[in-house]
Amino acid sequence: MKIGTDIIHVNRVEKITIKYGNKFKQKFLSPREIAIAHKIETVAGFWAAKEAISKALGCGIGEQLSFHDIIITKNQKGAPAFALSHEAQKIHRIKESSLSISHDGGFAIAVVVIAQHQ
């Protein structure tokens, strides 16, 4: 099992979003993710989640894993989950995972636990 975490100040994401608008969001979110990220806190949470996932996988965001390789979804109750693109899944071989995202006091935080196939 591997764990990853990330925290970001929501104001940082808000300032960048105001300055660059949808171009900023499109840099790290899919159109589907943009559609479900209605609040700036959610956008910040998705950023933190993708960073946490890359940390748990031990590769960071780069050659082996891009922001767009990570697809964040929400279930009917609003709980977050994620999947990897087909190519990234072949590399990282995730067997099970759990993702938690929270925001409070101007911060968004994400924690992920990942079990990989041997």
Select which of 25, 50, 92, 103 is catalytic.
103
In residues, how long is the chain? Answer: 118
45-82 residue pLDDT tens:
999 999 999 999 999 999 999 999 999 999 999 999 99
76-113 residue pLDDT tens:
999 999 999 999 999 999 999 999 999 999 999 999 99
Q: Please give the angle made by the CA atoms of 74, 68 and 41, to the nearest 5 degrees.
A: 45
Is 92 labeled as catalytic in the residue annotation?
Answer: no
Domains of the chain, each with CATH number or no CATH: 2-116 (3.90.470.20)
Is 103 labeled as catalytic in the residue annotation?
Answer: yes
Q: What is the pTM of this model?
A: 0.95
Angstrom distance (rounded) from CA 41 to CA 102: 9
Select which of 55, 68, 74, 95 is catalytic.
55
